[in-house]
């Protein structure tokens, strides 16, 4: 029997063209593809016709398959000699539980590899015209998950994040936006700090709403922003407005 293997692959932030060449090659040779909710299904078409495709996505409060079940399935198919591609949205090691899957593979003695992908902090921000670092505005950024807002065992250190980095990027935080805003203001973040919400970043359904820390929760409610969405907080958000102004000026001159 041939040796099975597992490739833990990042599919990128939504636009199928942002997948890496190496990741695409693994999809093309896979025997089994276990894919997540935020993976663009166009990528599945690159797989072999006979490859087994298994959906194992997770939505907030709705898991089609528990994490332990996903890991057992990976190992089961790889142990039977299959090349398994575990296809994950964004990057496997950025809030993707790729580390857990790598540990499970190693513990089972299954050869594995991790192929990085463009995480949404990078991809969605770039698509919306927001540099995470920008000379004179931002020299550092941090990525945090908003889903830990009510995790008392490992709470988010909003007191530290409020002043330790220039750009703050928050995944899975839209449903907790009011609480995040409250915590940052409580710990001294200026209410005038620019904020952007990027919904469905890098896709045809991308929508960006900008405001300030003082009013972003009301804007999110008014605009009915929903997941998947990214929150970006910091002065670098201003670059988007500058770009839009320059583009509008250029169009008016052409017209």
Per the annotation, the verdict on 223 as an active-site residue is no
First to last CA, the chain: 67
Nearest-Å Rg of the Cα atoms of the chain is 20
Q: Which two tokens stand for residue 183?
A: 């915590």
Write down the catalytic residue from 58, 65, 76, 159: 58
Q: How far apart are CA 74 and CA 110, in angstroms?
A: 10
Write down the catalytic residue from 15, 36, 91, 217: 36
Whether the CB-CB separation of 195 and 211 falls below 8 Å is answered with yes
| Chain centroid to CA 169 | 10
**Coil, strand, or helix at residue 44?**
helix
Residues 6+ apart with CB under 8 A from 105: 6, 8, 74, 75, 78, 111, 112
Residues 6+ apart with CB under 8 A from 49: none
Per the annotation, the verdict on 1 as an active-site residue is no
Write down the catalytic residue from 15, 88, 166, 172: 172
| Chain centroid to CA 48 | 27
Catalytic residues: 36, 58, 172
């Amino acid at each position: 029997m041939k040796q099975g293997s597992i490739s833990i692959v990042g599919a990128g932030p939504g636009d199928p063209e942002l997948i890496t060449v190496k990741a695409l090659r693994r999809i093309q040779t896979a025997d089994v593809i276990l894919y997540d909710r935020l993976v663009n299904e166009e990528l599945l078409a690159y797989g072999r016709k006979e490859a087994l495709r298994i959906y194992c996505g997770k939505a907030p409060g709705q898991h089609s398959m528990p994490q332990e079940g996903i890991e057992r399935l990976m190992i089961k198919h790889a142990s039977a000699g299959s090349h398994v591609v575990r296809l994950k949205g964004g990057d496997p090691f950025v809030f993707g539980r790729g580390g857990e899957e790598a540990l499970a593979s190693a513990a089972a003695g299954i050869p594995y590899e991790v192929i990085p992908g463009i995480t949404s902090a990078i991809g969605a921000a770039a698509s919306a015209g927001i540099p995470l670092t920008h000379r004179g505005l931002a020299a550092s950024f941090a990525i945090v998950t908003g889903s830990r807002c009510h995790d008392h065992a490992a709470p988010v250190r909003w007191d530290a994040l409020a002043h330790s980095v220039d750009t703050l990027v928050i995944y899975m935080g839209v449903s907790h936006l009011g609480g995040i805003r409250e915590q940052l203001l409580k710990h001294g973040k200026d209410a005038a700090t620019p904020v952007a919400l990027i919904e469905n970043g890098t896709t045809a359904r991308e929508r960006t709403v900008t405001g300030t820390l003082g009013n972003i929760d009301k804007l999110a409610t008014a605009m009915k922003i929903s997941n998947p969405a990214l929150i970006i907080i910091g002065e670098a958000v201003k670059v988007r407005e500058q770009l839009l102004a320059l583009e509008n000026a250029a169009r008016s001159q052409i017209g």
